[in-house]
Amino acid sequence: MRVRPLIARARRCRTRAFDALHDAGHSPEVVKVYGLAGLPDITSGPKQVKRLTGESYVPVLVLDDGEVITDSQRIVEWARAHPAPAAQRHEPALPRSRRT
């Protein structure tokens, strides 16, 4: 199964979830969501997340079949349980210390 957008806003959580997906051979599209927790969802990103999950919190992983996975730990668990097929695996990336 291919992975659709990983919608993220918090850097630490995005990195943990993104790294797990990348390590499992997926190449997710990252969509940055701007806003602050506790404030009204006035921009399109948080509104989209809320429409998908009922909450404004990220990261959110959206799979090709429409399944939505929230929380970085759940995304990490999904990535470990669903490595990308060999034909869909991405090219080797830079070491983590060189990622920006």
Output the domain CATH number for residue 67: 3.40.30.10
In this prediction, residue 98 has a pLDDT band, given cuts at 50, 70 and 90, of: very low
In this prediction, residue 89 has a pLDDT band, given cuts at 50, 70 and 90, of: low
| Residue 100: inside a domain | no
Pairing of strands 68-70, 3-8: unpaired
- Boundaries of domain holding 34: 3-93
| Residue 29: inside a domain | yes
| Residue 86: inside a domain | yes
**pTM for the model:** 0.73
| Residue 63: inside a domain | yes
| Residue 79: inside a domain | yes
Tell me if 23 sits within 8 A of 96, measured CB to CB.
Answer: no
In 3D space, the residue among 45, 85, 52, 82 whose CA is nearest the CA of residue 67 turns out to be 52
Tell me if 84 sits within 8 A of 40, measured CB to CB.
Answer: no
Tell me if 48 sits within 8 A of 10, measured CB to CB.
Answer: no
Structural domains in the chain (count):
1
Q: What is the mean pLDDT of residues 59-71?
A: 89
Summarised one tens digit per residue, pLDDT across range 20-29 is 998 999 988 8
| Residue 98: inside a domain | no
Tell me if 43 sits within 8 A of 35, measured CB to CB.
Answer: yes
Tell me if 52 sits within 8 A of 60, measured CB to CB.
Answer: yes
